[in-house]
Structures are given as structure tokens and as C-alpha cells.
Amino acid sequence: MSSNLYILRNYAQKVPSSLPSSILFSSSSQSLTIYDAFPKSIFHFLILPRVPQPGSSIGVDDLDSLKSLLAHDKATAREILNALNEDAIKAKKEIETEMQKRYGFKCHLHLHVLSSDLCSPKLKHKKHYNSFNPKLGFFLHIDEVLSWFDSDPSYYDQMAKLDEKAYEKLLKEDLVCWKCESPMKNIPTLKEHLQEEWDKESKREKARAERKRKLEEKEKTKLSDGGENAEAQVEHIEKKAKTSD
């Protein structure tokens, strides 16, 4: 086990209140959400299942990796992954809120929650990028893993093996932008391109948020003399604005 994963294992066994605010983002009865020490995006968190798990026979060795967890009984493994997913959704909402504020739009087993920009000074090597490229296949989405539990037992058993050699090959794949699929000759070129993609996306989302704000203001102004149905109409406008996102 690498030194970084050993540190994560230690965190998972600690009482959340004992961790400094520079490390701990939030916690629940089943997991800890911490800041990634080497972020690969503007926002990058790790979600760790706590050890021991409440009312569970799962031990620290069972949480060494996704493979070791899936080797445990399916019901317990699924329960732990569902709990991680719930806390990932909460972290995602926190990221969206912070992005709205900043930009005007919104081997211990661990779950990464990171923004999709992949713009960070810590992203320095091909292995870094291919590890987190959401379309390459090395980065396993939690929804995909949870779907294995509803598949045929033979398919679950096959996927739960998590063939290391097959996944390691993906880290050596050529660099390709995950958004537009353009090939990139090296990491500096890729990072420059990703920053351009992020800037364009930021500009589009700011413009969309501004259009939404103006629409809401315009519609609410029309209702200034709207009488008893004004409140219901305002609610309708807000729902309409949300569906336009």
C-alpha cells in the first residue's frame, strides 16, 4: 500500500472531529469527505467509508480497494456504495453552489468527487489525466458500479474481479480531450486546451445565467399588478426558469 493510501486508511479510522478543517470537508455516520491533497481539478474531494462501518462486519482490510469490498457479501458492499453515493451527491451540490459563487454558474477504497474542468497545477502527467478522464474507462463512475448489482450474477462476478492489467493499459492510452475528443501531443498542450474549454464553458454558463435572471425580472415586473394569482404565477415562472437550465 502506498503512503498516500496508508494516510487515507488512517483518516477513515479517526473520529471526524479530530481532523483539522484543512483536511475534513464534511462527515456522516458512514463516511468522511476530505479535500484531495493533490487536486486534479478546481474542486476535488475524496469520500472515504468510515472504519468500522456502523453495525457491519466490514473491517479495514475489506476496504483496501473496490475489488476487496466486492469480494465481501453483495448486500453489504451495495449498502456501503449507496452510502458513498449519497454523500457524493451532497458534495456535488456543494461544488455547484461554490461554482455559482465563484464563476456565476453552477488504495484504501475511496470515491472521488471532482469538477469536470480538470484544470489544476497538480495535473502534471499522462497518468494523472487518464486516471480521471471520465470517458476512458479507468475512472469508474459510482452509478456504473452500482448497476453491476442489478445485473446477472455471472456479469457481477466478472466485473468484480477488476482485472488490474486491463485497467493499467488504459493509463497508457494517447492523450485525448474528453470533451471534444481532439488528440493532444503532450500534457502542456492538453492543459492549455482544457483551460480554453473551461473558459468557453464558463462564458456560456454566465451568459445563460444572466438571460435567466433577466427573464425572471421581466416576468415578475409584469406581475407587479397581478392580483391574487400573482404568487402562483411567480412560482410558475421560477419553475419555468429551472426547466430552461
- pLDDT at residue 204, as a whole number: 86
pLDDT digit string (tens) for 94-144?
Answer: 887 877 666 555 444 445 666 667 777 877 888 888 888 888 888 888 888
Across the range 188-213, mean pLDDT stands at 87
Across the range 200-227, mean pLDDT stands at 81
N residues, the chain: 245
Across the range 173-200, mean pLDDT stands at 90
d(CA 108, CA 234) in angstroms, rounded, equals: 49
Structural domains in the chain?
A: 3-172 (3.30.428.10), 174-245 (no CATH)
Radius of gyration, alpha carbons of the chain: 22
Cell numbers linked to 156: 457481477
Q: Do residues 16 and 99 make contact, with C-beta atoms less than 8 angstroms apart? A: no
pLDDT digit string (tens) for 134-179?
Answer: 888 888 888 888 899 999 989 999 988 888 888 889 989 999 998 8
Name the one residue in this structure whose C-alpha cell is 502506498: 2
Q: Which of 38, 63, 36, 37 is nearest to 50 (CA)?
A: 63
Helix (H) or strand (E) holding 112: strand 111-114
Task: List Cα–Cα distances, 3 to 9, 23, 47, 131, in angstroms.
Answer: 10, 16, 18, 18
Across the range 83-93, mean pLDDT stands at 86
Helix (H) or strand (E) holding 114: strand 111-114
Here the contacts of 55-64 (C-beta below 8 Å, separation 24 or greater) are: 56/80, 60/9, 60/12, 60/13, 63/9, 63/12, 63/108, 63/109, 64/1, 64/9, 64/107, 64/108, 64/109
Helix (H) or strand (E) holding 92: helix 74-103
- pLDDT at residue 103, as a whole number: 52
Cell numbers linked to 6: 496508508
3-state helix, strand, coil split of the chain in percent (to 5) is: 55, 10, 35
Across the range 69-90, mean pLDDT stands at 88
pLDDT for residue 69 is more than 60: yes
Task: List Cα–Cα distances, 68 to 40, 108, 170, in angstroms.
Answer: 26, 10, 21
